């Protein structure tokens, strides 16, 4: 069994895989990670190896405790990946994006795939049917846009995410919801359409914390998979240990 630890900007996801099957997944604050991983080792004593992906900051003692339980692989650019990385600055490519592209290779081999990850940031990553990773784009995610409007202005309120009732906001709150949520939906649909002008056989994957919320509103055909990153990390772990 494999233990997958994904440290994001705000939360940590921990999952257990039996071969390719996701057995259990939990999402917690960083302060809760140590207790949760101990519980996982008690519940699943057959865990033999783990992979850690971190774009946030994981306390050193948590990592040491993990290493005392099993073999730990740290996700970085020096590992083997199942694709040709044509990114101009490969050492600056986020490890989470590498995992997403790896998942696309496993689930959609020999296809042109656009992976959209809607989390703290929205990332767009494209891999061709020839297995060449070309790059993509990064833009602010939903909560980051709401928070920026509040933090960087004098009078705009900080709102919870809400689907606007109309594109024309007749109150300040309605206008913010329209600008943030509909703006992101228009952005994603527009990016997909631009890619499809060049790649008519495009497969689109939408993942991340806001994937389900956004997928219901997009007009383009997509596959929504909130566990895509975890599946990619498990694949990388297996790819580097067999």
- Report whether 124 belongs to an annotated binding site: no
- Tell me: is residue 9 an annotated ligand-binding position: yes
* Residue whose structure tokens are 């948590």: 62
Establish whether 10 is an annotated binding residue.
yes
Query: Which residue matches tokens 């900080």?
Result: 158
Active site residue 35: no
Pairing mode, strands 113-118 and 121-127: antiparallel
Catalytic residue (one of 20, 76, 96, 125): 96
Tokens found for residue 82: 């199942």
SS (H, E, C) 160-207: CCCCCCCCCCCCHHHHHHHHHHHHHHHHHHHHHHHHHHHCCCCEEEEE
The answer to the question of whether 94 is labelled as a binding residue is yes
Sheet containing strand 21-28, strands side by side: 21-28, 12-18, 2-7, 49-54, 71-74
Q: Is 7 annotated as a binding residue?
A: yes
Is residue 97 marked as binding? yes
> Is residue 120 annotated as involved in ligand binding?
yes
134 carries a ligand binding annotation = no
The residues assigned a catalytic role are 96
| Residues of the binding site for substrate | 87, 94-97, 172
| Residues of the binding site for ATP | 6-13, 120
| Residues of the binding site for K(+) | 117
| Residues of the binding site | 6-13, 87, 94-97, 117, 120, 172
């Amino acid at each position: 069994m494999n233990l997958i630890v994904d440290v994001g900007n705000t939360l940590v996801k921990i999952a257990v895989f039996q071969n390719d099957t996701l057995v259990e997944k939990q999402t917690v604050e960083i302060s809760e990670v140590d207790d949760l991983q101990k519980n996982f080792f008690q519940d699943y004593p057959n865990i033999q190896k783990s992979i850690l992906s971190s774009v946030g900051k994981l306390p050193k003692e948590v990592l040491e405790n993990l290493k005392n339980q099993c073999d730990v692989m740290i996700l970085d650019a020096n590992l083997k990946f199942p694709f040709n990385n044509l990114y101009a600055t490969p050492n600056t490519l986020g490890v989470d994006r590498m995992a997403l592209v790896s998942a696309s290779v496993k689930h959609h081999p020999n296809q042109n795939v656009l992976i959209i990850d809607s989390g703290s940031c929205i990332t767009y990553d494209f891999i061709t049917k020839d297995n060449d990773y070309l790059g993509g784009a990064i833009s602010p995610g939903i909560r980051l846009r709401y928070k920026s409007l509040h933090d960087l202005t004098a009078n705009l309120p900080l709102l919870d995410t809400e689907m606007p009732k109309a594109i024309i906001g007749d109150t300040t709150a309605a206008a913010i919801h329209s600008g943030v949520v509909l703006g992101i939906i228009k952005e994603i649909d527009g990016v997909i359409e631009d890619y499809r002008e060049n790649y008519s056989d495009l497969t689109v994957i939408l993942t991340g914390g806001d994937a389900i919320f956004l997928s219901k509103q997009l007009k383009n055909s997509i596959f929504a998979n909130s566990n895509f990153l975890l599946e990619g990390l498990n694949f990388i772990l297996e790819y580097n240990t067999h």
